Amino acid sequence: MLLVFMFLMAIGIVLIVTEPKSISVRWASATTFCGASGGLSAVIEDDIIPFCEVDSFLYGVAMFGNNLTSFITQYGVPYSFLMFAIVKSFSLTKKNQWAWSVLFFIPIILTFLLNPFYPHFSVPYLAGLVWIGPYVLAASLLLIYSYMKEENPFAKRERFWTNVAYIPTILFVIITNNLIRGLGYENVWRLNMWIVMYAMAVFLYSVFRDGFAGVRLLIQKHQMNQSLKAVHIGTAFLHHSLKNDLGIIKLLGYKVDHMASQSGDKELQTDVKIIIDSYERIQLLLDKIQYQTNERELQLSSNSLTEMVENSLQRLRPLLEKSGITVHRAFPEIESRWMCDQLQIEEAINNILINGIDAMPSGGELFIRIDYTSKQARVVIRDTGIGIPEKHVHRIIEPFFSTKQNLEHNMGLGLTYCYSVLNKHGGSLEFHSQLGEGTTVLMSFPLTKEGSMWNQFASYWSKTIRGGNEDLPNT
């Protein structure tokens, strides 16, 4: 059971370290820590208590630790699991969260008063199911319901893996710890080790893929940031190294062209023109690479997210009309302002819109939605294009990676630039795509109390952004 303790502690630590400010993640990690307490209790009972029997004081300490950890896992798991489900499923104020947490803690207090864990702890397994059972069932149903009602494809995938890991594991543990042990089969709880292994496998798989309990490991972000730094250094060195030589080629090219025009050598003029054109293409390419990889400081100003999206659409209107693409908008009724670098954000939006247009060469539909959660402003852009192969979805923000055929004009830096811009603003960029069905892009921006957007959020929360926009399907 030492492995159970170590695995569950590792999951809990990863969760809380990655997203320490998230209330739902705190409750998720609390659930995991309470489960780990059961593994520690087994270690104390099997390995520590036998060595302490020779000393009455050490034996008393070991028994106290065993009873305490057993009490925590027995009653802490269903309680923290229910609170996790409530916070994960509903947007509650801090006052309401506190009220619910106190209310649902009352059965634990009553259980302790009726059956304290020291000096002797006898677990009323079947009697405890009177409140433990409803807690676990209610939490499971809440998580399933919130998954079914979730419209955002990114959040839906994360909710799916969270449910797959937590619900079977908690139900299995409650059945073995309470129901079966209450029927007299004392050692069946040791099977919990295998369900913990299952939960660990789901956690490791999902946290790298779609997220888990609201968390995605920072290792991917760290790797991407390291790649951006390497690209920035490499392109800066390349631009500096070639700049002087390209200048010499340009100077000599124009000199030879002048001499050829004076001598009337048409063939030489044609050859020199090819050289000059090649120089200009190389210079344009270098300038474009440097622009998209350069570390530019943010020039913050108050802007409207809706206006920035509209500005990008306005610039691309000729291309949209030429491609036969219909745009569907779902924007909030209440206008909000946000401190950001307007030029960089608009360019990032522009890049994503162009990708959507390129994916629909024969026409299609472009759905754009702006909405808010309690912590984020989000722009969701969905096209009905050709889609992206699943094996490429997680690579499309990598520098110089592109699924497009025309690599002369598509260097694979557009989405890298978008990621960099959102990252500097404290936001994130996510993709969901299926071949033949299209691609959905989620741009998320953090809300802060300092911004006026926060002040308007409360009044906005009660409104639906889909009001009067029935042609926009769920994305």
E-state strands within 338-434: 338-341, 364-372, 376-383, 428-434
- Give the Cα separation of 320 and 310 in Å (integer): 13
- Give the Cα separation of 172 and 168 in Å (integer): 6
Q: How many CB atoms lie within 10 A of CB 410?
A: 15
- Residue ranges per structural domain of the chain: 2-216, 221-293, 300-461
Share above pLDDT 90 across residues of the chain, in percent, rounded to a whole number: 13
Query: What would the pLDDT profile of 97-128 be if each residue is shown by its tens digit?
Result: 888 999 999 999 988 888 777 777 677 777 77
The secondary structure of residue 298, as a DSSP letter, is P
Token pair listed for 36: 């780990």
Pairing of β 428-434 and β 364-372? unpaired
Of the candidate ranges 5-9, 159-163, 209-213, the one whose mean pLDDT is the lowest? 209-213
Query: What would the pLDDT profile of 20-71 be if each residue is shown by its tens digit?
Result: 777 888 898 999 999 888 888 888 888 888 888 778 888 888 888 888 888 8
CA distances from 265 to 66, 257, 272, 273, 276 (A): 97, 9, 11, 12, 16
- Residue 167 is predicted with a pLDDT of 92
**Is the pTM higher than 0.75?**
no
Q: Where are the alpha helices (DSSP H) in 294-335?
A: 305-315, 317-323
Do 2-216 and 300-461 have matching folds? no
The residue type found at 235 is T
In terms of CATH, what superfamily is 300-461? Answer: Histidine kinase-like ATPase, C-terminal domain (3.30.565.10)
CA distances from 51 to 2, 47, 48, 56 (A): 17, 7, 5, 11
Q: How many helices (H) and strands (E) does the chain have?
A: 19, 7
User: At 263, is the pLDDT very low, low, confident or very high (cuts 50, 70, 90)?
Assistant: confident
The residue type found at 49 is I
DSSP 74-105: IIIHHHHHHHHHHHHHS---HHHHHHHHHHTT
Q: How many CB atoms lie within 10 A of CB 191?
A: 14
For the domain bounded by 2-216, which CATH number is listed?
A: 1.20.1070
